[in-house]
Amino acid sequence: MTKLAANLTMLFNEHPFMERFEAAARAGFRGVEFLFPYAFHADQIADKLNAYQLDLVLHNLPAGNWEAGERGIACHPDRIGEFREGVDEAIRYAKVLGAKQLNCLVGKLPQGVSHAQARETVVENLKYAADMLKEHRISLLIEPINDFDIPGFFLTRTQQAIDLIRDTGSSNIYLQYDIYHMQRMEGEIASTIRANRDIIRHIQLADNPGRFEPGTGEINYRYLFKMLDEIGYEGWIGCEYKPKAGTIEGLGWRQAHGV
């Protein structure tokens, strides 16, 4: 049974953030996700989740100065202390909000840092975060992202993520598989999901090109939804796309795709 979660960073953004929970519930979503909760008190968000009976599927660890273009700091050797403080903050929010998984955006390769040095830092940081989260029964996710949209992003391919997870030696790190990003980087979506079903704990979707809703581009989402049911995927699928003509106007894709 397909479980769709509304990404409140991208959907219902015609409303102020704190009004998007009600909008998502009224549109029929039972789960939500978003990039970051840290601009709000955790209790404020918890009140919205409870009021509209929504599950918080996940949010991200703090990712540096987002407004300045940073997209994570896990690969920054000179910011390990800041990363660890962010892990603590993310856990505090997750416990209040009921989130059972947190995503780590590893960031862009810093200027003057070698790939090997960045990789060593990522492995160290991921192991630390996974161990800390495990104490609270929270899973850590990592997400490959295409480097067309985010030039210089350190983690861009599925196998690279699998290798990082292996090298941490941790049993508490899983893959967040974004169909849009991986269509742009490597294709072979269905076979990749099938091959890595055991470590994929969360999926996100958008069509390509444009990152709009399913049915606007080249990705065969009817086939993918059927395949996910066939392999017994039980996790959430986050709707992380840009509505082409307004959120509500674009939600017809769910009925058209049988989800």
Active site residue 240: yes
The b/e string for 144-162 (b: 16+ C-beta within 10 A; e otherwise) is bbbbeebeebbbbbbeebb
**SS3 for 89?**
helix
**pLDDT for 148-158, tens place per residue?**
999 999 999 99
Active site residue 234: no
Tokens of 55: 């599950």
* CATH code of the domain in which 110 resides: 3.20.20.150
Global confidence as pTM: 0.97
Average pLDDT over residues 133-141: 98
Q: Pick the catalytic residue: 14, 70, 143, 234?
A: 143
Q: Could you give the residue ranges of the DSSP H alpha helices within 53-178?
A: 80-97, 115-134, 158-168
Range of the domain at 230: 3-256
pLDDT over 90 (residue 1): no
Structural domain tally of the chain? 1
**pLDDT for 162-179, tens place per residue?**
999 999 999 999 999 999
Q: Pick the catalytic residue: 33, 135, 230, 240?
A: 240
